[in-house]
Amino acid sequence: MAKNYTSKKRTIEDLELIATKIREDIIKSLEKAGSGHSAGPLGLADIFTALYFDIMKHDPKDPTWDQRDIFILSNGHCAPVLYTTLAHAGYFEIAELSTLRKFGSRLQGHPERERLPGIETTSGPLGCGLSQAAGMALAMKINKDYHRWIYCTLGDGEQNEGNVWEAAMLIAKYNLHNVIAITDRNNIQIDGTTEHVMPLEDLRAKWESFGWHVIDINGNDIDSIIDATAMARSIVEKPVMILAHTIPGKGVDFMEGDYHWHGIPVGIEDVAGAPPKNEQAKSALHQLRTLEGKIRSEHE
């Protein structure tokens, strides 16, 4: 049975407000957890907002609906943005976000399929998401299930893994064009910038030479994200890779572009260029609430 999942068409401004709230809750839940990843999740908030509040066909009240689109978080360490988005979309109470990474929580340090509705697969160990997307797409093909899409986000550093390129070849071989891959091209990984740790460029040429259609976008612009996925759905000759150029730590000035924030939350260490640790959360939340005055906020 078809569901009326798009009943609430939202404006870009509404979506931006949702993204801001998601960023605030990412900061808050990570601060409470005392560990976890900040930069990737903040950079991805616009993509997640666009996916769960505009692009994807899904039903928070029926997470296993057999006609839903599927989302795979191959870069599993970015769990905070997925959890926060799922909560805001109505999969579970927002209050539960404060249990992130705690003993007994459904919000494990890395997402687990068996624990939380809305999680399609367990991830954290990098490089495995796209292959699972391929398997799901193959199953849909066998089942003649032609109206479902599989969205898969990958980190850029993650693409150091050979497994990613094994999936890339297979998806092109079978032209599994209902797989829409999105790279979080934020130029950072743990040991430094991607081009320093393991150069990825020319990343566009790499994916093209593997048989993919590549779309470069500003991954912090919700309009572009919606546009690019719409275009991706209309391209059937090839699978599509969206290279979403994002700013790691987006929205918090002392985190933006700094790889030190890959794997730590606010409040645990003093980082050069950032406020002292006990003031980081306050500063981050203040910036997010007003986006330096550029965005209206209910907290104003």
Partner 1 sequence: MNNLHLVDLTSGEVKMEPIRKGFGRGLLEAGKINDQVVALCADLTGSTQISLFAEAFPERFIEVGVAEQNLVTVAAGLAAMGKIPFTSSYAAFSPGRNWEQFKTTACINNQPVKIVGSHAGLYTGPDGATHQMLEDIALMRCLPNNVVVVPCDSVEAEKATLALAADKRPGYIRLARDSSAVLTTDKTPFEIGKAQVFSEGSDVTIVACGTMVYQALQAAEQLFLDGIDAEVINMSTIKPFDAVTLIQSARKTGAVITVEEAQINGGLGSAVAEALGEEFPVPLKRMGVKDRFGESGTADELLNHFGLTSSHIAIQAHAIVKNK
Ligand X SMILES: Cc1ncc(C[n+]2csc(CCOP(=O)(O)OP(=O)(O)O)c2C)c(N)n1
Interface ranges with ligand X (CB under 6 A)? 39-40, 75, 77-78, 124-127, 155-158, 184, 186, 188-190, 248, 262
Site string for partner 1, 142-181 (x = CB under 8 A): ---------------xx-xxx-------------------
Ranked by CB distance to ligand X, the top (closest) residue is: 155
Near partner 1 in 207-236, by CB under 8 A: none
* Of the candidates 116, 115, 109, 55, the residue with the CA atom closest to the CA atom of residue 86: 116
CA–CA dist 267, 281 (Å, integer): 6
The neighbouring-strand residues paired with 184 are 155, 244
CB of 228 to Mg ion, least distance (A): 19
Among 132, 186, 220, 246, binds Mg ion (CB under 5 A): 186
The neighbouring-strand residues paired with 151 are 71, 180
Q: Give which of ligand X, Mg ion, partner 1, none residue 265 binds (C-beta under 5 to 8 Å, depending on kind).
A: none
CB of 135 to ligand X, least distance (A): 19
The backbone torsions φ and ψ at residue 57, rounded to the nearest 5 degrees and listed phi first, read: -95, 110
* Residue pair 233/149 in contact by the 8 Å Cβ criterion: yes
CA–CA dist 285, 32 (Å, integer): 14
Q: Give which of Mg ion, partner 1, ligand X, none residue 35 binds (C-beta under 5 to 8 Å, depending on kind).
A: partner 1
The verdict on 272 binding partner 1 (CB under 8 A) reads no
The verdict on 76 binding partner 1 (CB under 8 A) reads yes
Beta-carbon contacts of residue 115 (< 8 Å; ≥ 6 apart)? 106, 108
Among 17, 26, 27, 33, binds partner 1 (CB under 8 A): 33
* Residue pair 48/85 in contact by the 8 Å Cβ criterion: yes
Amino acid at 108: Q
Residues in contact with Mg ion by CB under 5 A are 155-157, 186, 188
